[in-house]
């Protein structure tokens, strides 16, 4: 048999064996998918690589608003972050919550900074990430409001605890109505904060 043919057959046999082992792990149920047990190194690396490249590819053509750094956007995004994001991603001066302690993979603590570009942050907030606790906010929030959240997330690492609380407390009055611009959210009861 020709040497090249042997190499090809050996590679194919290796692929079949690896696929068989992978299938056995999946169908036997022996791979633990519990959130309290970390992935194996190879599985974690595979998921991290897929996530990084997917976000980059899907966000590359998004146009970032020219007023992303405006105080209006940052103030609007602060209220959303305080309500929807802080339980998982925390905030300056905030202790880890019961939710954040139970997440796997752990949600990034955004007050420490984030390596994603504004377009990538927008894409993640709008579409979420499969196999994590990151939901897709696109079905309930319009794109303008999602850009407001991005604006605040980008400002967040520069804030100390008092500044963070001040931003959230001083959110625009119309904040409670922002979600209701989306037709899917119309008719849902609006919640008032207890004072």
pLDDT along the chain (195 residues), means of 10: 83 92 87 89 92 97 97 93 95 95 95 96 97 94 96 97 92 56 40 38
Question: CA gyration radius for the chain?
Answer: 22
Which is nearest to 33 in space by CA: 130, 99, 104, 88?
104
Cα angle: 69, vertex 165, 191; to 5 degrees: 95
Q: What is the pLDDT of residue 187?
A: 38
Domain architecture of the chain: domains with CATH: 69-185 (1.10.760.10)
Q: What is the pLDDT of residue 185?
A: 39
- Inter-residue contact 112 to 94 (CB < 8 Å): no
Which is nearest to 122 in space by CA: 35, 40, 56, 168?
56
Q: What is the pLDDT of residue 109?
A: 97
- Inter-residue contact 126 to 119 (CB < 8 Å): no
Q: What is the pLDDT of residue 175?
A: 52
SS3 155: helix
Q: What is the pLDDT of residue 180?
A: 44
- Return the axis-axis angle of helices 71-80 and 161-169, rounded to nearest 10°: 90
Burial class of residue 162 (count of CB atoms within 10 Å of its CB; 0-12, 13-18, 19+): exposed
Q: What is the pLDDT of residue 194?
A: 38
């Amino acid at each position: 048999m020709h040497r090249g043919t042997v190499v090809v057959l050996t590679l194919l046999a290796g692929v079949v064996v690896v696929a068989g082992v992978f299938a056995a792990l999946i169908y036997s149920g022996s791979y633990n998918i519990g959130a309290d047990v970390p992935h194996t190194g190879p599985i974690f690396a595979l998921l991290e690589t897929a996530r990084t490249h997917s976000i980059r590819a899907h966000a590359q053509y998004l146009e970032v608003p020219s007023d992303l750094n405006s105080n209006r956007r940052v103030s609007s995004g602060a209220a959303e972050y305080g309500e929807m994001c802080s339980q998982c991603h925390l905030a300056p001066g905030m202790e880890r919550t019961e939710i954040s302690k139970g997440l796997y993979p752990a949600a990034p603590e955004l007050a420490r900074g984030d390596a994603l570009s504004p377009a990538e942050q927008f894409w993640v907030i709008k579409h979420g990430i499969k196999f994590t606790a990151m939901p897709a906010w696109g079905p309930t929030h319009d794109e303008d409001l999602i850009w407001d959240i991005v604006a605040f997330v980008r400002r967040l690492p520069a804030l100390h605890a008092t500044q963070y609380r001040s931003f959230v407390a001083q959110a625009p009055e119309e904040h409670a109505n922002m979600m209701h611009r989306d037709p899917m959210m119309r008719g849902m009861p609006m919640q008032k904060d207890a004072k």
